[in-house]
Chains A and B, each alone.
Chain A
């Protein structure tokens, strides 16, 4: 039997999206630190502006360095295309603004990044977009929350911070039955551990600041279009199916088919709202992606060692990591995340907030800061930082208690991480 001719994950991590430099033969992706790009002539310029020709005009809309990253992320995720943005939140807003306007409604998992929660619960209502939050394991709750004006269903592939794993296939079916796209944040997993499009997810958004970059040098986001969703059949997305006056009546689905969403998001979303990724940051993040699989394997291996240590420690009340048999999503984790459940997890420390404060302040190898997915190990107390704007009710719904400490396990020697945690836990219980 003949085999398909396609490149593997690691090859795409290193080469995806890059055409070797034709002028000087540069092997690395050059940094095109330029706001704008020369037109060949007036005819060429007019063609680019009217979407008759493809290419780069102005780095707010596209840039050659950023485009390499965009193609690479799309290739790794198995999508048709992606847009890199100034941050993960910019990517989420790009999805929202391309799909809907005032009067629309979102159904979101309650267990999402604090920034996403803030956008949905606090900011979007000011623009006439309401959100209903559903506990991620309440699959039927997603169906019940959908209204006629709902325009997307949202969740995280590994919930923040509790690592809840939704019944992704079932929620995708619920969304599709209602003619809605299922949008997921895949930041915690990365496409190495999980590819949402393979499980029915239509759009994927990332903070590529995290594991994708891996080094903590650059902020960035990405929005990936799986090219799966049938916008015409849904009939709920006039931005994609009806004439767009800005391009003289262009209908995106009719002209661009599977690439309708990502094309509209670029030519409108980046043009009108801005927030592109800077080429220098794209370069940094590309360096990280080159080693994504190897880093993720090490992140997971270290995490398993740390979890094993914490399991046997008296100062630990509970650990939420889906690879553990007592995690509510353990069976689903085995099915969806066979390579590992990532390197971010939370645990409850005996003694609550005060013990947590002492623990965090005693750590030497772990860094206390508001980030995850760095090569270096990180720690934070979500209830007082990343999720501080959430009400007590929202915190309860998201499973974030006062005793919850979130760890992001890095690439250091696992033994050093365990020694550091042991010292912190000992101090916290005095």
Chain B
């Protein structure tokens, strides 16, 4: 699906189904240096289970025109405009890593546009290793190597993917390699500079799911504790799963988010 936001072309996927305006919107926001395809194992499920699904390429990522916003707040404002452009008043938001910071800021600054939040691998503050930031700024492949290694649990690095034949580390590496120069550095710098997650969380009333991986090396489960204290949330920890939890345990992610949304709808 192609659309225009703030005068720029945007690419998004809809889980293999045309958008149905009568269904609630489920918006997927990817993490730093990723694109819409990070959600490939979740979007089709929800598109066939009662939601109008949109997994968007953030500006400058995947098939969306850049430049990317240089701050989490800038990304959040862009997502607000994107939801409006889709024709829905508000969305259920599923977001990963940097996307979870964007979603937190979005829910705080544009509360009427967020029905619920499912935050995967969030952290109250996302510190970025200086070597990683330096490598990303010089567009050194080392940045992709480092992120690929830290994206997967020890088990995930060995493999045993639920998707037959797909090598997870290879898939993560290629996804990162598709970044345009400077985009990953922009994202990492935006994450490192964002210190408003806890304050923003305190303002959020939307029901929230925190989905954490017990073997997450990028955003360790303990880093979500300050958010847990502020949010109206439930937390699920996926055992043995690393940061790329959508890939390492696609069913675990689907089931947790589906159960969360089902309970919201029943309430």
B43 touches A75 (CB 8 A): no
Number of interface residues of A (CB under 8 A): 54
Give the segment of A64-72, A162-170, A366-374 that binds chain B.
A64-72
A82 touches B37 (CB 8 A): no
Q: How far is the CA of A314 from the CA of B250 in the complex (A)?
A: 64
**Cβ of B64 to closest chain A Cβ, rounded Å:** 13
Asked if B223 is at the interface (CB within 8 A of a chain A CB), the reply is no
Nearest-CB residue, chain B, relative to A243: B16
Asked if B82 is at the interface (CB within 8 A of a chain A CB), the reply is no
Give the segment of B141-149, B196-204, B208-216 that binds chain A.
B141-149
Asked if B160 is at the interface (CB within 8 A of a chain A CB), the reply is yes
B158 touches A257 (CB 8 A): no
Asked if B40 is at the interface (CB within 8 A of a chain A CB), the reply is yes
Nearest-CB residue, chain B, relative to A63: B164
Asked if B137 is at the interface (CB within 8 A of a chain A CB), the reply is no
Q: How far is the CA of A4 from the CA of B173 in the complex (A)?
A: 12
Q: Which chain A residues border B157 with CB–CB below 8 Å?
A: 5-7
A2 touches B159 (CB 8 A): no
B160 touches A71 (CB 8 A): yes
Set B11, B16, B155, B163: member contacting A248, Cβ < 8 A = B16
Q: How far is the CA of A71 from the CA of B157 in the complex (A)?
A: 11
For window 1-43 of B, CB contacts with A under 8 Å fall at: 11, 13, 15-18, 35-37, 40-41, 43
Q: How far is the CA of A66 from the CA of B16 in the complex (A)?
A: 28
Q: How far is the CA of A6 from the CA of B49 in the complex (A)?
A: 37
B160 touches A4 (CB 8 A): no
Q: Which chain B residues border A4 with CB–CB below 8 Å?
A: 142, 145-146, 148-149
B164 touches A67 (CB 8 A): yes
Q: Which chain A residues border B174 with CB–CB below 8 Å?
A: 80, 226-228, 258
Contact with B along A69-87 (1 / 0, CB 8 A): 0111011001111111000
Q: Which chain A residues border B250 with CB–CB below 8 Å?
A: 53-54
A-B contact pairs, 9 of them (CB 8 A): A6-B149, A6-B169, A47-B48, A55-B162, A75-B169, A255-B13, A256-B40, A257-B35, A257-B62
Q: Interface residues, chain B, CB within 8 Å of chain A? A: 11, 13, 15-18, 35-37, 40-41, 43-45, 48-49, 62-63, 129, 131-132, 142, 145-146, 148-150, 155, 157-167, 169-171, 174-175, 177-178, 217, 250-251, 254
Q: Interface residues, chain A, CB within 8 Å of chain B? A: 1-2, 4-7, 12, 15-19, 47, 50-56, 61-63, 66-68, 70-72, 74-75, 78-84, 226-228, 232, 247-250, 254-259, 262, 266
